[in-house]
């Protein structure tokens, strides 16, 4: 099969130069990084924003009268404004800064769901979810007597719409669904899902960990109640994340954690909580990380998310086409609408062995269950090899991946 060159290759080369880590060799070969779904790399502008803050502005936020504290607070709160703008939330009060998607989902589970549900209520998730969008709901069910129900997927790794609609019954207290599956790359039709759920009065949380890095996300257009994502998957620092939540819901929810910064007044008799969003941000936050996340958003907006999505769609199709040509490959996850990720098995080679052989050739992929064990169970496998792309990848990376897989076949053949 002939492979037409991608039209966007040149821009990718320029973007790639912005990422210092991608300029190195690993095991004697130029690094091919195909593990962005686990954690994406950071452009120099993010690294520099964090370093500059540490060098020049570091102090605790919100509390100080001195100049450094003002600078730190302005930069930190400025990042919140950038996040609001990036996902088109109505107000900065709806942007709760967390340590990542996991904390954002746990916050909703404990502060929104736990006080509202009990025996007879259901929490609806799907078979595609990451453990971070399963276990917090199991905990709430254990705590309250509510029941966890799971919408099935088909053999391509897609939700079965009619079944999902039929599971949106009156006793569902919340629907939690991933925007994009980290194990299979399936893009769920979240806008339609929210709209159907709304018709039945069901609040919806979207796990956007794998959505935000790859496409435009507009929470008002989606009309979701909660949208959770992580900084480190969108080219920002680890230990940063966001919970978008509708203001009226946040207003009605008790704090998730108690401590400094989330209060207006404390006495031993009672405490008056701070205004939104600070009511949900106890303790000293990850100041430098959030400032880095703001710089990552500046970087993404300078390229433009529609451009990133177009480029990645083309590169993803190319990757799938090239992988499909390999003898002995089994693609896992073949949904009609996909982003970034392709999982696969090759001959009878154990995925960990495959990952190691590829690493020896400078190609970084992820192997195992990808924190989505139920997905693996659904396909009757223990794990997969997973290549995941970002806009800094290019056709050469895919060639190197395929070459490395051919070599692995020879070694194990
Ligand atoms: C779909 C999805 N949800 C949630 C998470 C958890 O993200 P974090 O570990 O950054 O909290 C991940 C991480 O891989 C993910 O891919």
Distance of CA 145 to the CA centre of its chain: 29
* Cβ pair 367, 405 in contact under 8 A: no
- Is 224 among the residues known to form the active site? no
Locate the ligand 1 atom nearest the alpha carbon of residue 104 and give its number. Answer: 11
| CA–CA separation, 13 and 23 (whole Å) | 11
Nearest to 343 by CA among 308, 313, 362, 316: 316
Question: Taking the alpha carbons of 81, 86, 89, 94 in that order, is the dihedral positive or negative?
Answer: negative
- Whether the CB-CB separation of 310 and 339 falls below 8 Å is answered with no
Tokens linked to 230: 């992580």
**Residue among 98, 107, 130, 176 to mutate when testing ligand 1 (max atoms within 8 A of CB):** 130
What predicted TM-score, i.e. pTM, was given to this entire model? Answer: 0.97
- Ligand 1 atom closest to Cα of 100? 11
Cβ pair 364, 387 in contact under 8 A = no
In degrees, to the nearest 5, what angle opens at C-alpha 153 toward C-alphas 148 and 159?
A: 95
Cβ burial, residue 223 (10 Å; 0-12/13-18/19+): middle
Which residue of 98, 102, 135, 212 sits with most ligand 1 atoms within 8 Å of its CB, as the best mutation to test the pocket? 102
pLDDT tens, N- to C-terminus, the chain (413 residues): 334 444 545 567 689 999 999 999 999 999 999 999 999 999 999 999 999 999 999 999 998 899 999 999 999 999 999 999 999 999 999 999 999 999 999 999 999 999 999 999 999 999 999 999 999 999 999 999 999 999 999 999 999 999 999 999 999 999 999 999 999 999 999 999 999 999 999 999 999 999 999 999 999 999 999 999 999 999 999 999 999 999 999 999 999 999 999 999 999 999 999 999 999 999 999 999 999 999 999 999 999 999 999 999 999 999 999 999 999 999 999 999 999 999 999 999 999 999 999 999 999 999 999 999 999 999 999 999 999 999 999 999 999 999 999 999 999 98
Count CB atoms within 10 A of the CB of residue 290.
Answer: 29
Cα-to-centroid distance, 132 and ligand 1 (Å): 6
Q: Are strands 204-207 and 147-151 parallel, antiparallel or unpaired?
A: unpaired
CA of 66 to the centre of ligand 1 (A): 37
Q: What's the CA gap between 8 and 15, in Å, rounded?
A: 11
- Spatial distance between the Cα atoms of 209 and 126, rounded to a whole number of angstroms: 16
Are the beta carbons of 246 and 206 closer than 8 angstroms? no
């Amino acid at each position: 099969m002939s492979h037409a060159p991608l039209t966007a290759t040149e821009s990718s080369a320029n973007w790639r130069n912005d990422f210092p880590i991608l300029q190195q060799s690993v095991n004697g070969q130029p690094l091919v990084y195909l593990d962005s779904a686990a954690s994406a790399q950071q452009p120099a502008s993010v690294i520099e924003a964090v370093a500059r803050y540490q060098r020049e502005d570091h102090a605790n936020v919100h509390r100080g009268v001195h100049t450094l504290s003002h600078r730190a607070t302005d930069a930190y709160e400025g990042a919140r404004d950038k996040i609001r703008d990036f996902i088109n939330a109505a107000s900065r009060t709806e942007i709760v800064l967390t340590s990542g998607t996991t904390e954002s989902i746990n916050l909703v589970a404990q502060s929104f769901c736990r006080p509202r549900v009990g025996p007879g209520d259901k929490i609806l998730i799907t078979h595609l979810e990451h453990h971070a969008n399963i276990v917090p709901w199991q905990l709430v069910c254990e705590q309250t007597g509510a029941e966890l129900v799971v919408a099935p997927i088909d053999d391509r790794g897609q939700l079965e719409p009619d079944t999902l609609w039929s599971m949106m019954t009156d006793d569902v207290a919340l629907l939690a669904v991933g925007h994009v599956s980290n194990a299979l790359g399936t893009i769920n039709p979240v806008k339609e899902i929210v709209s159907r759920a709304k018709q039945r009065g069901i609040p919806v949380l979207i796990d956007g960990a794998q959505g935000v890095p790859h496409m435009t996300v507009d929470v008002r257009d989606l009309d979701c109640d909660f949208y959770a994502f992580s900084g480190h998957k969108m080219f920002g620092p680890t230990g940063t994340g966001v919970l978008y939540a509708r203001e009226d819901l946040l207003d009605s929810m008790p704090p998730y954690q108690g401590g400094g910064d989330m209060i207006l007044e404390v006495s031993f008799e009672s405490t008056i909580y701070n205004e939104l969003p600070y009511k949900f941000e106890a303790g000293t936050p990850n100041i430098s990380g959030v400032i880095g996340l703001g710089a990552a958003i500046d970087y993404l907006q300078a390229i433009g998310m529609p451009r990133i999505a177009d480029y990645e769609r083309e590169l993803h199709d190319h990757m799938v086409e090239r992988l499909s040509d390999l003898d002995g490959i089994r693609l896992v996850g073949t949904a009609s609408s996909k982003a970034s990720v392709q999982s696969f098995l090759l001959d009878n080679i154990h995925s960990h062995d495959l990952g190691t052989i590829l690493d020896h050739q400078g190609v970084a992929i992820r192997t195992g269950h990808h924190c989505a064990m139920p997905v693996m169970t659904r396909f009757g496998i223990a794990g997969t090899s997973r290549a995941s792309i970002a806009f800094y990848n290019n056709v050469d990376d895919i060639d190197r991946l395929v070459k490395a897989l051919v070599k692995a076949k020879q070694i194990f053949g």
